[in-house]
Homo-oligomer: A and B are copies of this chain.
Amino acid sequence: MDSQKLLQLWSTTGLANFEWGQLLMIAVGLLLLYLAIARRFEPLLLLPIGFGAILSNIPIAGIADDNGLLGYLYQIGIETGIFPLLIFMGVGALTDFGALIAMPMTLILGAAAQFGIFFTLIGALLLNFIPGFEFTLADAAAIGIIGGADGPTAIFLASRLAPDLLGAIAVAAYSYMALVPIIQPPIMRLLTTEAERKVKMSQLRHVSRLEKIIFPLTVLLLCTIFLPTSAPLIGMLTFGNLLRESGVVDRLSKAAQNEIINIVTIFLGLAVGSKLQAEKFLTLETLGILLLGMTAFAVGTAAGLLMGKVMHRLSKGKINPLIGAAGVSAVPMAARVVNKVGLESDHHNFLLMHAMGPNVAGVIGSAVAAGILLAIVGG
């Protein structure tokens, strides 16, 4: 037997090539799988991302390399921005903006909650005082967008402003979105009084089909006039929504809601996983990003709640401030959390529908914020 051949085979085993970082990242991948499967934390994204993390850290195989499967997916779908934009189209096709149209004032709540984005941006810059951190303004903006609580927006912006941080930002965004039921309730209880939480809101008015058709066009035209840099995101969101509401292209609407979003979700998750390669992910920056991401969600929630309290006053008690927390987006998790916390105070107070208004407003809000960051930082 030729011992040279044996040596060659040995040299291609994982055993002979492992680095500690890769082992650690495979463990991280397994942890994400555990969270996705056993704890059901955003499984649609965290399962593919977790699996992608494992695949990317297999030595020799080069699956995340430029000519490996995950590398190709990254180049095709994320470098180009195609995947997050197609997901956004699907989100548009899946979203009923009726609650928002019935109660447009809730857009203010969706605006307020974006404060989490800019607060975190400042936080990232503050970290630069600690030796080892050297976040640029673009890095900080990409990190801040975690506070938008919207996966595709975060991936789209990070791929433009700070591709090296994309893995950590995507993982933080989806993980904290999954943690919304844990992060939000204490803040909600802290910032609102029992009386406020008991406020029942009046039933939403009927929204006609024509209003629902005009809505996405209105949003797109405003975006065209005021903030074209957010047009790719807002454009695909409103396109998906128009497919849905127009009622004349059911075939296409269903394709956007099912085939396209499902296929792209698999590929997007795997491609994001390709950015969890040990040498890129195991850095001090990642630690900072995970920390800041948590803050982002907490601050966004608080900002939404405080604006909710203002509106509670201004409306003479007609608005339950809890629905402000849904303004961070994280659709529909945050709206459900609002509903649950509301029910704790009054077993007959169903806030789900009222929370859907700020909830979907938050999606638009963070896409707008992303547009501003692109306009000023990405220039």
Contact = CB atoms under 8 A, between A and B. Distances in A.
Interface string A25-51: 010001001001100100110011001
A116 to B, nearest CB: 21
Contacts of A254: 262
A5 B379 CA distance: 11
A232 B80 contact: no
B246 A37 contact: yes
Interface string A201-234: 0000000000001000100110111111101100
Contact of A242 (B47, B60, B249): B47
A9 B375 CA distance: 7
A68 B232 contact: yes
A332 interface: no
A228 B376 contact: no
A72 B254 CA distance: 23
Interface stretch (A12-20, A106-114, A358-366): A12-20
Contact of A375 (B12, B82, B217): B12
B231 A58 contact: yes
A353 interface: no
Contact of A379 (B12, B30, B67, B258): B12
A179 interface: no
B252 A14 contact: no
Contacts of A40: 248
A217 to B, nearest CB: 7
Contact of A80 (B5, B72, B263): B72
A227 B265 CA distance: 29
B30 A217 contact: yes
A337 interface: no
A262 B266 contact: no
B262 A251 contact: yes
A255 interface: yes
B61 A231 contact: yes
A224 B255 contact: no
Contacts of A14: 224-228
Listed residue (A5, A213, A239) with the most chain B CB atoms within 10 angstroms of its CB: A239
A154 interface: no
A110 to B, nearest CB: 21
B72 A5 contact: no
A260 interface: yes
Contacts of A220: 54
Nearest to A261: B251
B266 A232 contact: no
A48 B47 CA distance: 32
Contacts of A61: 228-229, 231-232, 235
Interface of A: 5, 8-9, 12-15, 17, 26, 30, 33, 36-37, 40, 43-44, 47-48, 51, 54-55, 58-61, 63, 67-69, 72, 80-82, 85, 213, 217, 220-221, 223-229, 231-232, 235-236, 239, 242-243, 246-249, 251-252, 254-256, 258-260, 262-263, 265-266, 270, 372, 375-376, 379
20 contacts: A5-B376, A8-B376, A12-B228, A12-B229, A13-B226, A17-B228, A30-B217, A47-B242, A48-B252, A55-B231, A55-B239, A58-B228, A59-B228, A60-B229, A61-B228, A69-B236, A251-B265, A252-B262, A254-B262, A255-B265
